[in-house]
Amino acid sequence: MSDILAVVINENSQIEYHRDKPLPELQQQFLDKMDREMDGGIVLGGLKHDAPGKVQRAQFVAINLINAIHSEDGQLAAAMCAYLANRLPDLKQVRAVEKDDGTLIDLVFDEPHVHQVKVNIVPPGTSGSQLH
């Protein structure tokens, strides 16, 4: 199990949730309440799921997580991360790619997020100037 759940939007890391910190009882009760509310059904992609399974619940929460990040609702984003990290202990990333026709969200279980650094490589003898 990975200790970190990363939330990545358009290849930019937004949140790193650390699972090694135990949840206070009140927060655990909130996650249980989320499950009870989803027991009544959820809507994904315009389709109603009367008895959503674990993955459907995770997809629903991931959508709400991305929306919370965009609306800068830190408390909601933290709650959504806590839900995903606790209910899916093998989840390593929530990866979203935004396009003109919508947002594609992937739940990644097999690949931890690796910080990438952009490096501009200057060919020898160019002193950083443009080549002609």
Q: What is the mean pLDDT of the chain?
A: 88
pTM score of the predicted model: 0.81
- pLDDT reported for residue 45: 87
Where does the pLDDT of residue 120 fall: very low under 50, low under 70, confident under 90, or very high at 90 and above?
low
Query: Residue 28 is encoded by which pair of tokens?
Result: 């655990």
pLDDT tens across 10-54, in order?
Answer: 999 999 999 998 899 999 999 999 999 999 999 998 999 999 999
- Whether the per-residue pLDDT at 77 is higher than 90: the answer is yes
Amino acid at 17: Y
